[in-house]
Amino acid sequence: MKIILLALILLLSLPATDINNYINNKNCNQIIDKQVFTICYDYKMKGAKYVLYTLNGSKVNKLNIKKRPS
């Protein structure tokens, strides 16, 4: 019982993850913002550190899904 209580307390104390914790001016040397994706570029690593994709649910697989026979 004590272990479950301790685990619950630890889970409640964890901060929520937000994309702003990763893609910001503190973590990125350059932020490349496109309509569909955002790239956090790091000059020291010479590449992308984080990539954020934005998907629109109404457009994803719209052309790939065929109607099933009823």
Total count of domains within the chain: 1
* 43, HSE (Cβ side, Cα atoms, 13 Å): 4
User: What pLDDT sits at residue 26?
Assistant: 93
Q: Which domain holds residue 55?
A: 17-59
Model pLDDT for residues 4-55, shown as the tens digit of each residue: 776 766 666 666 577 888 889 999 999 999 888 999 999 999 999 999 988 7
Instruction: Work out the burial of residue 36: count CB atoms within 10 Å of its CB; fewer than 13 is exposed, 13-18 middle, 19 or more buried.
Output: exposed
In a domain, 44, yes or no: yes
- 10 within domain boundaries: no
- Contact between 42 and 51 under an 8 Å Cβ cutoff? The reply is no
Q: Is residue 53 part of a domain?
A: yes
